[in-house]
Amino acid sequence: MKVAREARSAAVVINAGSRRGAAAHELVLDKMQKAGVPISSMHHVLSGAELAATLDRVVAEGHDLVVVGGGDGTVSYAAGRVAGTDVVLGVLPLGTANDLARTLEIPNNLAEACAAIADGKVVDIDLGRANGQPFLNVASVGLSVGVTEALSPRLKRYIGPLAYGIATLRAYARHKPFRARLEFPEGDHEPIELENLLQVAVGNGRHYGGGNMVSPTAGIDDHTLDIYAIPAGPLWDHVSIARLLRDGSFVKHERVYHLTSRHVRLVTEPPLSVNLDGEIAAVTPTDFTIQRNAVHVVVPQSSNSALFDGPGGAGGPSI
């Protein structure tokens, strides 16, 4: 399949609980059908359990294109379900941050996103795993977990990405520093002991947190994980780091530890919850790995975010 309209059969799964999901049904169906995408199955889901069951069903039904509308957590779960198969994933950004769509250069406007799926190209992207659980953008412990806990659906629905700023201030005020050990099972780095930390993050994609950048060189098709740690400290240190989050240059700040690897094990004291693309879905100790070129996904023809390399990651045909 080179474009979505060449699919044998397409299913659409929309998380109606996402910020823009409830109103998306009719527009998506109309735009896709007019563009020639062979939609034969349309589903609205309201819970994680319903999402899992629905994705299992549409994959079992043999659809070779599954279009998923929702936030980053919804899309990451779907990516984990189709990873390693020939099923192609289409992405409709209906959440608050929509960082995967930003990484893949998929338009935030719903009608334009539908057109991008219909006319786009198929590429393959890496999938991060945290103790086996999938993530596409960033997995993290520390402050980001507090931010996720402070983000209410009502806050996200009514003020959108600004909700992250408010939630960050609330989480920062309540944060308790922690200790961490980074281990590298492939031997590419020596173990690192860190104390008095604000956050540790492991990035697979390029964007997170409503448009922040993992690092200036990060990409979702580079087959590596970007690992960074930010110590706790004076407020002005964190303000100076925060000013550099947008373009990823914060990783060069003297107070930030940054390195890359394909496999890292994170052990914290005390054990901490792990945020996977906005969903709290694991607990430390956690093994983070990269599943190379695991997910086939439709991106706009103009997108330079990824290529189609195949499982081996090199020499595959460009589509």
What is the C-alpha separation between 71 and 259, in angstroms, rounded?
28
pLDDT in tens, 171-199: 888 899 999 999 999 999 999 999 999 99
Q: What is the CATH number of domain 133-290?
A: 2.60.200.40
State the average pLDDT for the chain: 90
132 has pLDDT over 70? yes
Q: What is the mean pLDDT of residues 148-173?
A: 76
Predicted model pTM: 0.90
Q: What is the mean pLDDT of residues 103-118?
A: 94
Bigger pLDDT: 278 vs 139: 139
- What is the model's pLDDT at position 18? 82
317 has pLDDT over 90? no
Domain ranges of the chain: 4-125+293-299, 133-290
pLDDT in tens, 259-314: 999 999 999 999 999 999 989 999 999 999 999 999 999 999 999 999 998 765 44
CATH class of 4-125+293-299: alpha beta
3-class state of residue 146 by DSSP: helix
316 has pLDDT over 60? no
What is the C-alpha separation between 298 and 295, in angstroms, rounded?
10
Write down the number of H helices and E strands in the chain: 9, 17
Catalytic residues, which ones? Answer: 279
What is the C-alpha separation between 286 and 185, in angstroms, rounded?
12
